[in-house]
Amino acid sequence: MKALPGSFDSRAEAALADPSLQKALQNFKPLFVAKRAAAVAELSDFERLRDAAAAIKDAVLSELDVWLERYADKVESLGGKVHFAKDAADAREIIREICRKADARTICKGKSMVSEEIGLNEVLEEDGYRVVETDLGEYIIQLAKEPPSHIIAPAIHKTREQVADLFAQNHPGRPREDSVAGLVNEARHALRERFFESDVGITGGNFLIAESGTSVIVTNEGNGDLTQTLSRVHVVTSGIERVIPTLDDLSVFLRLLARSATGQDTECYTTLSTGPRRAGDPDGPEEYHVVLVDNGRSKMLAGRFRDMLRCIRCGACMNHCPVYGAVGGHAYGWVYPGPMGSILTPLFNGLAENYDLPNACTLNGRCQAVCPVRIPLTDLIRTMRNEQVKAGLMPASQRRMMGAWGWVARQPGLYRALERLGSRMLRLRAGRRGAMSSLPGAEAWTRVRDLPAPQGATFIDQWKARGGDQ
């Protein structure tokens, strides 16, 4: 996916001024948060599960090359084919080639964030294939020609009325549906046709299991199963960091994923695929490919953002992020929104181009508190700011202010004097009103809120005057 046009500010501003988006955000916010909290409360050992999951991921990441090789060997021994893609362009070419060789016409897709990351749909459509997203949310935004705004609920920014309008335009000859059940049913009918025509089925891979050569997808709609079972060729797209050693390890992650993502005990479908159809299998694809995408991940492995590679893409961080809750996913400009995107997007697409993402955060820590694999998201967002400073990206005006402030703050006498002066001037301006509704130089504050005035002389001056210690 290409980065969305405009600046973070302009996209955020548009989001705040969009009443139907605000309504959609208002509806979804309490839902995910409350459901997760209830699901977590039901488990007595959730915190230990988080520790275990983080430990499994850390162990794999410390020997990632070894685990990837084991996984690839196993897949190939079962008749599958593993492709390593160094970047997005490489991944796209590999998949185009698979589709070409399969003489495909229709390509069905289960939800895959990596496919969004590498911008797959655009090139496949240019090649003339009929590309059909089969996850309901992805289907909706494909019809709307919009990027996803959430990693597990891509059309969360759309209201029911907007979906009804879209379906009415795109499904001619059907009466307009307005109920949720009616709309789901309508999508099911439309998609069922496509599944039967599908030549290549492309899915993501929530987990890749080294010991068995298995790829695992987790869905609520069963669309992923139909995509990979009914197509002649199954292509799994996945990041290289998604490999885990064993099926036992999988059980740890499955207990965390659904609870963190949607607050379900488990998603409706957890599907394990191991190789192509074997002799005697009643169904399954003739070919089974796994495209393992690096696209900057191996570089992360060696740096300060390695913990981010533990991410299992549950979306809990954005569900709990008050900034995401205010502006939605499109403001973040690319595939990964919210806290995880504020780290991944600058790493994948450039620190300078995405300067705002880590800065548009209050460091409130709610994301970090809910992350199932204990990624220190808030700390990493701050670390990203440090990387930006080291790269000389802090705006000159802010850099000058920080430098001056840092110098003054090391001259206690001068600092005291300036505090004293500031206090006196603010009190003069406020008079007896207790607060100011405007203040030159502080418009960004006073445009939104009054500025409470200082109560009197500074605390330290008063303390000294009262003969306090030191």
Part in contact with another protein (CB under 8 A); list of ranges 98-106, 189-197, 221-229, 413-421: 413-421
- Residue 454 binds to another protein (criterion: CB under 8 A): yes
Task: Using alpha carbons, select from 83, 148, 123 the residue that is nearest to residue 338.
Answer: 148
Edge-first strand listing for the sheet containing 106-109: 81-85, 287-293, 233-239, 200-203, 106-109, 130-133
Q: In whole angstroms, how close is the CB of 258 to another protein at the nearest point?
A: 23
Residue 182 or 454: which CB sits closer to another protein? 454
- Residue 364 binds to another protein (criterion: CB under 8 A): yes
Residue 66 or 409: which CB sits closer to another protein? 409
Part in contact with another protein (CB under 8 A); list of ranges 89-97, 148-156, 240-248, 438-446: 438-446
Q: If you count DSSP H runs as helices and E runs as strands, how many of each does the chain have, helices first? A: 23, 12
Q: Which two tokens stand for residue 4?
A: 């969305």
Residue 72 or 351: which CB sits closer to another protein? 351
16-20 contacts, C-beta under 8 A, 24 or more apart: 16/326, 16/327, 20/158, 20/159, 20/161, 20/162
Specify the DSSP class assigned to residue 157: T
- Residue 405 binds to another protein (criterion: CB under 8 A): yes
Q: In whole angstroms, how close is the CB of 106 to another protein at the nearest point?
A: 42
Q: In whole angstroms, how close is the CB of 129 to another protein at the nearest point?
A: 40
Q: What are the backbone dihedrals phi and psi of residue 106, each rounded to the nearest 5 degrees, phi first?
A: -110, 135
Alpha carbon 161 to its chain centroid, in Å, reads: 26
Binding mask of the shown chain, residues 298 to 337, with x at each position contacting another protein by CB under 8 A: ------------------------xx--xx----------
Instruction: Say how far apart CA 429 and CA 424 lie, in whole Å.
Output: 9
Q: In whole angstroms, how close is the CB of 403 to another protein at the nearest point?
A: 8
Instruction: Say how far apart CA 161 and CA 176 lie, in whole Å.
Output: 11
- Residue 409 binds to another protein (criterion: CB under 8 A): yes
DSSP H/E element including 84? strand 81-85
Instruction: Say how far apart CA 167 and CA 155 lie, in whole Å.
Output: 14
- Residue 12 binds to another protein (criterion: CB under 8 A): yes
Give residues in contact with another protein (CB under 8 A).
9, 12-13, 16, 322-323, 326-327, 359-366, 368-369, 382-389, 394, 398, 402-403, 405-406, 409-410, 412, 415-416, 419, 422-423, 426, 432-435, 437, 442, 444-445, 447-460, 462-464, 468-470
